Amino acid sequence: MQTNSVSFPSEEDRAAALAKSLHGWRVPIVRLDAILHWEQPPALGGIIAGITLAFLLIGWLQPPLVSMLAIVGLLLLIADFVVPLAASWLLSSGVAGIAWTEADDRRYRDTCARLVGVWDSVSGLASQMLTLRRDRPQFYLAIALPALLSLLVLAEKINNLFLAYLIIVSGLLLPGLLGSGVAASAARQLYELIRARVQALQQRSAGSKDPKAE
């Protein structure tokens, strides 16, 4: 009796598909990747200054949440049409010395592969949490409840707009921090410490449930 096996696309295939779908955005993606990795500090400073100005305007005007979401959605919709057309025109006309090189193409594909890897990490973490919720609900509750309560206390102590600003700016600085050896080493040590603690708690929980062999 034959069984039908389901084949999933590999990470390389998904990265190639993502690169194809974002083809019109390849120039901004490559330039932004260079900026976020601190290769162009003035441009990164300009982006952070623009975000700071935008948050100051939001705090001053205090627009309704629905209106702000509508404006953000409108800007994203316009950018989705304008940016690919502008990038194509800049490449074809050669304005400001913008040209697409083999190094840019290599970097673009590497960036798409990293994006696929980030998505796999996030989806893998979500899958692990769902598995933990199914197999060890008490341990899942012991992790999720303090995390949500800590987030609630943090949101009560810090202005939500300022908290959003800190999260966005930290996200912009994160690629450059991870690219440095010190930050990567610290993040790795912290990850190993957390994983060791979680494994110890899981083993302790499993030992308390399993009956002792006579």
Q: Does residue 114 have a pLDDT over 60?
A: yes
The residue-averaged pLDDT of 58-68 equals: 89
Q: Residue 214: pLDDT band by 50, 70, 90 thresholds?
A: very low
Q: What is the pTM assigned to this prediction?
A: 0.72
pLDDT of 180 > 70? The answer is: no
| pLDDT for res 1 | 44
- Encode pLDDT of 181-201 as tens digits: 656 677 677 777 877 777 777
> Is pLDDT of 93 > 80?
no
Q: How confident is the model over 141-160, as a mean pLDDT?
A: 87
Helix (H), strand (E), coil (C) string for the chain: CCCCCCCCCCHHHHHHHHHHHCHHHHHHHHHHHHHHCCCCHHHHHHHHHHHHHHHHHHHHHCCCHHHHHHHHHHHHHHHHHHHHHHHHHHHHHCHHHCCCCHHHHHHHHHHHHHHHHHHHHHHHHHHHHHHHHHHCHHHHHHHHHHHHHHHHHHHHHCCHHHHHHHHHHHHHHHHHHHHCHHHHHHHHHHHHHHHHHHHHHHHHHHHHHCCCCC
Q: What is the model's pLDDT at position 108?
A: 92
Write down the pLDDT at residue 49: 94
pLDDT surpasses 90 at 160: no
Lowest mean pLDDT among 48-62, 79-93, 106-120, 190-204: 190-204
**What tens digit of pLDDT does each residue of 124-139 get?**
888 988 888 888 888 8
Per-residue pLDDT, 12: 85
Average pLDDT value for residue range 144-156: 88
pLDDT at 5 (0 to 100): 52
- Decide which of 177 and 169 is more confident: 169
Q: Tell whether the model's pLDDT for residue 70 goes beyond 90.
A: yes
